[in-house]
């Protein structure tokens, strides 16, 4: 007993000593400098190893807020560059915090112009500009993308002038500050990008009354990924996903949305109840997404744009209820920072941004 008491006393004394030591300026400085060395070291070189396609989930939520998830964003890495499919609020931070080299951002593909898909467009442009992106940022999208790009450019025009005046044109080059809209019709499958081995095809989806709305298919080194954008269950997506290695599909649990609506009504929040009553028809349930993946014959399905964002194990189970009856395996929920690699030699690997 006495030995136990002495040991406990010794441990307590050691704890106090360690705490005091940690609080000395010299130790604090050393810890801070080590953290900075890690932050400034190139941490994401593996993403750009040139081996096949990689998908980085930069935002996996929807307009329903989540502390754990940014809004809609799917990163696509091909060779020494990366692209964003949509730029929802908070999504640029996923790349920035992980130390993804921002100057490698080579373009943004917008699926449609709902706020949860465009909120961070200005941040993505600004961050990649200051990091040394060699050209103005290309923003691809169906008709209407010109309006979105012009608006962001105008909103950031004064910021850009301040930064050039402050840091000089070597860092904040006014020639590369803005964005360039690359609109396309969106009514039929169209190759909207073809360069350095990467082919990107836009195809129409059904997000009515939002028109046009598109999904994208990326083909590179004989690997392919399809990103659905916002859509209800639609044959167009199935047709365009055939032969792909991975389907990244939006998902909304209408079971959970119905319960949210009932709770809003009970609480007397009629405005939110009305909105929750409007949305089931223009999204895809997890079960429908599983059916679409099966019908397209896609080996892997990852669900994103999760409505509502299922941020605990119970919510995840409710969200995925019924899916295993349709698709037994090779289906999972995305989370921010998830990386799915499709190496040239085949197979699928899952990891996380470190």
- In the complex, the residues that contact Zn ion under the rule CB under 5 A are 114, 116, 230
Pick the closer one to Zn ion by CB: 116 or 153: 116
Catalytic residue among 51, 86, 116, 159: 116
DSSP label of 281: G
For the bound state, the minimum distance from the C-beta of residue 213 to Zn ion, rounded and expressed in Å, comes to 7
> Phi first, then psi: what are they for 349, rounded to 5°?
-125, 140
For the bound state, the minimum distance from the C-beta of residue 205 to Zn ion, rounded and expressed in Å, comes to 10
Which two three-digit tokens encode residue 307? 């409505």
Where do the DSSP E strands lie in the chain?
Answer: 53-59, 73-78, 81-85, 105-109, 137-142, 179-184, 190-195, 198-204, 214-220, 223-227, 246-252, 300-307, 331-333, 338-342, 349-352
Judge contact between 251 and 286, C-beta under 8 A. yes
> Phi first, then psi: what are they for 172, rounded to 5°?
-120, 75
For the bound state, the minimum distance from the C-beta of residue 231 to Zn ion, rounded and expressed in Å, comes to 9
DSSP label of 210: B
Angle at 48 between CA 42 and CA 51, to 5 degrees: 145
Mapping DSSP to helix (H, G, I), strand (E, B) and coil, where does residue 217 land? strand
Q: Can you spell out the DSSP letters for 97-165? A: HHT--GGGEEEEE-S---HHHHTTHHHHHHHHHHTT-SSPEEEEEETTHHHHHHHHHHHHHHHHHHHHH
Where do the DSSP E strands lie in 221-330?
Answer: 223-227, 246-252, 300-307
Pick the closer one to Zn ion by CB: 116 or 288: 116
For the bound state, the minimum distance from the C-beta of residue 261 to Zn ion, rounded and expressed in Å, comes to 18
Check if 103 is active-site: no
- Rg of the chain on CA atoms, in Å: 23
Pick the closer one to Zn ion by CB: 163 or 305: 305
For the bound state, the minimum distance from the C-beta of residue 62 to Zn ion, rounded and expressed in Å, comes to 5
> Annotated catalytic sites, by residue?
116
């Amino acid at each position: 007993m006495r030995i136990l008491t002495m040991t406990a006393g010794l441990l307590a004394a050691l704890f106090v000593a360690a705490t005091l030591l940690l609080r000395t300026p010299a130790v604090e400085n050393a810890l801070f400098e080590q953290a900075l060395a890690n932050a400034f070291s190139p941490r994401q070189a593996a993403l750009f190893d040139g081996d096949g396609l990689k998908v980085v989930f930069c935002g996996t939520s929807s307009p329903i807020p989540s502390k754990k998830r940014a809004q809609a964003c799917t990163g696509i890495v091909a060779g020494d560059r990366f692209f964003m499919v949509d730029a929802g609020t908070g999504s640029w931070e996923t790349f920035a915090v992980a130390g993804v080299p921002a100057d490698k951002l080579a373009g943004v593909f917008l699926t449609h112009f709902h706020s949860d898909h465009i909120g961070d467009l200005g941040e993505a442009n600004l961050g990649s500009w200051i990091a040394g992106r060699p050209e103005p940022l290309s923003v691809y999208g169906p008709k209407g993308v010109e309006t979105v790009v012009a608006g962001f450019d105008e909103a950031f025009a004064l910021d850009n002038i301040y930064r050039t005046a402050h840091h000089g044109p070597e860092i904040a080059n006014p020639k590369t500050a803005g964005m360039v809209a690359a609109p396309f019709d969106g009514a039929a499958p169209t190759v909207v990008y073809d360069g350095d081995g990467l082919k990107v095809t836009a195809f129409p989806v059904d997000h009515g009354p939002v028109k046009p709305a598109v999904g994208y298919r990326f083909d590179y080194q004989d690997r392919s990924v399809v990103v659905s954008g916002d859509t209800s269950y639609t044959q167009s997506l199935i047709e365009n996903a055939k032969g792909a290695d991975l389907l990244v599909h939006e998902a909304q649990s209408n079971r959970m949305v119905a319960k949210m609506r009932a709770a809003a009504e009970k609480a007397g929040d009629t405005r939110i109840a009305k909105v929750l009553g409007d949305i089931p028809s223009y999204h895809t349930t997890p079960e429908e997404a599983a059916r679409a993946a099966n019908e397209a014959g896609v080996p892997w399905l990852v669900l994103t744009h999760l409505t509502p964002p299922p941020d605990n194990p119970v919510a995840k189970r409710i969200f995925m209820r019924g899916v295993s009856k349709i698709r037994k395996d090779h289906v999972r929920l995305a989370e921010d920072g998830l990386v799915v690699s499709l190496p040239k030699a085949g197979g699928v690997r899952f990891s996380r941004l470190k």
